[in-house]
Amino acid sequence: MQGTFNRYMRVRSKTGFTGSQVAQSILRSNGIHDVGVEPINTPLGDHFDPRSKKVRLSPAVYRGSSIAALAVAAHESGHAMQDKQGYAPLAFRQAILPVANFGSHMAFPLFILGMLMGYDKTGQFLMSLGIWLFAGAVLFQLVTLPVEFNASKRALTLLADGGYITQDELPAARQVLQAAALTYVAASATAITQLLRLLILRGSQRD
């Protein structure tokens, strides 16, 4: 993802729009007036926060006018549109976010503690609790996939229909968004593998 992003970060869009201008324009043109656009200092930390109603863009995206910057800005604006329209997967992801955060932090400590306690009721309970908590984190990763793919699909349409990039720049924008989506696919695959590993370890403890 970083390689593709860096490649097209060096390719300036022919329209000359910046990421912040694209995000603000998309929000306004879609009747979203309660969402602000602000810069953050985290590289590749671009995101939409539905709680504070903010589209937050990294410096290279907020001030940049590259194809990559415009693609990312449109993608995050797509999340704001999802929020306004009550897109179900996004709402569900936000609902399970606290459980997923807690599970991702506590699952492994609880599971390891259960293993150390050996094959007794308390140890088995802690291992099972760790697995269930981590399953919540896995569910969050899986729900994230349709949310991200939908936002990228919206972004390409928004960029083309709004005249923010030219037709011959669309393939490059698509590459940026596809590379970003693959990071979520990889994260989901890793999470599922970790969950299977925990299940196998618990099974070996029983044996």
**Hey, which residues are catalytic here?**
76
Structure tokens at 198: 């925990």
Do residues 54 and 68 make contact, with C-beta atoms less than 8 angstroms apart?
A: no
Give the contacts of 54 (CB within 8 A, at least 6 positions apart).
35, 36, 37, 38, 48
For residue 111, report the phi and psi dihedrals to the nearest 5 degrees.
-65, -45
Helices and strands in the chain: count of H runs, count of E runs? 7, 3
Distances (CA, A) of 35 to 23, 28, 84, 89: 10, 9, 10, 20
Do residues 173 and 67 make contact, with C-beta atoms less than 8 angstroms apart?
A: yes
Sign of the Cα torsion 135, 190, 47, 85 reads: negative
Do residues 147 and 89 make contact, with C-beta atoms less than 8 angstroms apart?
A: yes
Spatial distance between the Cα atoms of 105 and 46, rounded to a whole number of angstroms: 23
